[in-house]
Structure 1
Amino acid sequence: MVKLTLVGRVHDGLPLSQGLVYDEDDIVYKKHAEFLLHEISLDALPPSTTTIFLHNHCFNYMVRNGVCFITLCDVSYPRKLAFHYLQDLQKEFDKVDPQLVNQIIKPYGFVKFDNIICNIRRQYIDTRTQANLSKLNADHKQELDVLTEDMSLVVERRRRSDMIERMKNAHKSTSPVWESKTLEVIAVKWTPITIIFVVALVLLWSSL
């Protein structure tokens, strides 16, 4: 079944709206959904239809017109139906004034869309309804072009990327003087003088 939904803005990774959160497990999965939205905003995940597996659940997401639609389902839930659900959400979101969407600055500030998510979600809870069976049968001969990945790989890539970034920043912070233009000028100006002074000192010492 469809357990959780998140709609977010891609360019800054801001979550705009969500479906209902029912229990503590949903709150944990919500954090995972926010993480995926953040990765998409950083171009660390493909902006297309993708399924991310996490234990016995999977996140399905699609990006359209700068907005990301994410849903969490049981792995047994038909993916084609999950993406129909996301497409229905996208169609409703397309009716919203883009200026209104861009003006939202508070996470989950688009509260009005929460009711729309809940209403559409109710239509997809039972996969055996005639409407849902019709959607599945209509696409029965079509292959769904969906990328797949495991959440552990996504997390590991982010961990490595953050580690490399920290190493770069640490290198910059510990050696700014040695890489500066000022030090280069000083070296060019004073190195010959220093060499002459040392040679003269050695000659003077040897003549004594």
Structure 2
Amino acid sequence: MVLLTMISRVQDALLLAASMQETEQSNRNFQEYHNQAKQLFRKLGDHSPNRCSLQAGPMTFHYLISQGICYLTLCEAAYSKKLAFAFLEELQAEFWELYGKKVSSVSRPYAFIEFDIYIQKLKKSYLDTWSKRHLSHINLELQDVQKIMVTNIEELWIPRPATCQLSPRNTARMPNSSAAVPLMPKLLPPVSSSWYL
């Protein structure tokens, strides 16, 4: 479940928009996560990876940096990474389309707070992980796993290197080696029976 979403400019960590889950607002730990997100924004720069997931206790921060803007979300640790990044990609596309040209000229925090309405709608669509939309993402994940499995099975059928094959010298010795193994059955000791008629 997506609990917190924040959008920030990378160059100066200026918060552009944010949204949080209503049920989590009263939670004291939630304020701690909010502060951790702000610290993360201050540490981001040109050297930062474009996509990253950071463990924070029972939660995970996922962020995506695109065109100088960082899109961050806080999810439960068990929430699918693929869905979290799909959420961030949709968020990025919509935000850039609406406000991309205005971002560099903004000087006050939360200048695009009205974007919260879109974030809330998008969160609701990602709330139900079994919806048709998300099942297609899960199917893609399964196809990726299937491709890996097929690749692994195909690797089994690749011809082995010549070092693994039997050399002519070893095959010539095989009949002689097998003759040394006794083929005579062993006699078992007699079995005594305690059955009486």
Which TM-score band (shorter chain)? 0.5 to 0.7
Matches within 5 A, 1:70-89: 70-89=72-91
* Alignment gaps of 5+ in structure 2: 146-197
The structure that is helix-richer by fraction is 1
How is 1:78-117 mapped onto 2 (pairs within 5 angstroms)? 78-117=80-119
Offset at residue 42 of structure 1 (A): 7.0
Any conservation in 2 of the 1:4–1:20 contact (CA below 8 Å)? yes
Q: Distance in 1 between the 2:55 and 2:15 partners?
A: 21
Aligned residue in 1 for 2:12: 12
* Alignment map for 1:117-132 (pairs within 5 Å): 117-132=119-134
Query: What TM-score does the superposition give when structure 2 sets the normalisation length?
Result: 0.66
Change (3 A) 1:97 1:3: closer
How far apart, in 1, do the equivalents of 2:137 and 2:101 lie? 33
* Secondary structure at 2:98 match in 1: coil
Residue 102 of structure 1, CA deviation: 1.9
Contiguous gaps of at least 5 residues in structure 1: 144-208
Deviations 1:135-183 (A, max 9, x none): 121233448xxxxxxxxxxxxxxxxxxxxxxxxxxxxxxxxxxxxxxxx
Match for residue 34 of structure 2 among 30, 37, 42: 30
Give structure 1 regions of 4+ aligned residues with deviation exceeding 4 angstroms: none
Match of 1:49 in 2: 51
Counterpart in 2 of 1:150? none
2-side partners of 1:130 and 1:109: how far apart?
34
Q: CA deviation at 1:20?
A: 2.7
Give identity over the alignment, percent. Answer: 30
Residues in 1 aligned to 2:116 and 2:125: alpha-carbon distance in whole angstroms? 15
1:40 aligned to 32, 37, 44, which one?
Answer: 44
What is the 5 A alignment of 1:134-153? Answer: 134-142=136-144
TM-score, normalised relative to structure 1: 0.63
Distance in structure 2 (CA, Å) of the matches to 1:70 and 1:5: 6
Partner SS for 1:29: helix
Residue 67 of structure 1 pairs with residue 69 of structure 2: yes
Q: Which has the larger radius of gyration?
A: 2
Cα drift, residue 98 of structure 1: 3.2
